[in-house]
Amino acid sequence: MRFRHQRCHRRIAVAGGARACVLVAAIAALSMTSAAAEVFKCKDSRGHITYSDSPCPDGSGGRVDLKEPVEDNGPRRPAVPPNRDAVEAPATAAAAPPAAAPPERGKSDYQLTYNDRQRITNLEQIERNPSAYAEQRRSATLEIANIRRGVLARMSFDDARKKDNYWADLASLDSNRRQTAQTQLANLFARYQ
């Protein structure tokens, strides 16, 4: 097999041989082609696979169906948490948007991230687990409510580390230690009310 770019061949030979170079070339070719382009997978007599934009000369391969990349358009956590204490005065009365009704108690405008949803799923499993300690189940319910309100997104690094340490204590065999951890966790979340 001949390579147009000896530099590519030398670099890839170290990392896995000719097949790796062909794969890299195919990926590069696929990334530069338009969505309507066709790609064919061909196999030669020695079993080497190549990718091409034209059909195989001996009919040994077939067309490869390419899938469009999927974008994750899920809710995103805001880059900077909103400062709920600061109120901006509009420049003119005409430019001011109509006042929105305040959110209902217990509801928040916070958009859950993928990690938030995963954490809620894990906590819901703890809530339903009959072998979990009562302190763990109550703390799971408390944390789910605080995740939905966006408290964990606003939590400082040190407080997040404390929360993780309290969860470690909630798994303790010592009931006093579990009760103390549950109280400390509730107090930690209460500071973000």
- pLDDT top residue among 55 and 101: 55
Mean pLDDT of 22-46: 66
Q: How confident is the model at residue 53 (pLDDT cuts 50, 70, 90)?
A: confident
| CA separation for the pair 80, 97 (Å, rounded) | 22
* Short-list 173, 164, 174, CA closest to 184: 164
Residue 40 pLDDT level (bands cut at 50, 70, 90): confident
pLDDT at 89: 47
pLDDT of residue 43: 82
pTM (2 decimals)?
A: 0.46
Going by the DSSP 8-state scheme, the letter that residue 46 receives in this structure is T
Residue 9 has pLDDT above 70, yes or no: no
Q: Among candidates 140, 146, 161, 148, which has minimal Cα distance to 191?
A: 146
Choose the weakest-confidence range: 92-96, 127-131, 161-165: 92-96
Please, is 59 exposed, middle or buried when counting C-beta atoms within 10 Å of its C-beta (0-12, 13-18, 19+)? exposed
